[in-house]
Amino acid sequence: MPIDDESQDAVFRALADPTRRRILDLLFARDGQTLTELETVFDMTRFGVMKHLRVLADADLVITRKEGRTTRHFLNAVPIRLVHDRWIDKFTEQRVAALTSAGAG
């Protein structure tokens, strides 16, 4: 399943910020956290954390689910995997090593 340019750009923009990467790390460690749980980690306002979550949600990296009065945030790693497959996998060690040794001769 390829990732379109607009979605890909949204993922790169979301991952460019260290706070958003930290939120993804926190959700990777313990998925389904609330805004209250996430905001305790950061030295910023609740609104600031909400803005970062919105960028992550717009990039489909975070999915929110209402459970009664509680909203939980879940990591969606699929967009990261799609970017990996498109941009990183083709530069794996084996391929880069082959290119490096071909140029060294």
Angle at 15 between CA 11 and CA 19, to 5 degrees: 140
The tokens describing 44, both together, are 């910023």
CATH (domain of 85):
1.10.10.10
Range of the domain at 55: 5-104
Q: Which residue has the tokens 């609104």?
A: 47
Does this model's pTM top 0.85? Answer: no
**What's the number of domains the chain is made of?**
1
What pLDDT digit, counting tens, does each position of 47-81 carry?
A: 999 999 999 999 999 999 999 999 999 999 999 99
Nearest to 80 by CA among 68, 72, 88: 88
pLDDT band at 8; cut points 50, 70, 90: confident
- Three-class secondary structure of residue 69 per DSSP: coil
Residues 6+ apart with CB under 8 A from 15: 21, 24, 61, 80
For residue 38, the surrounding DSSP H or E stretch is helix 35-39
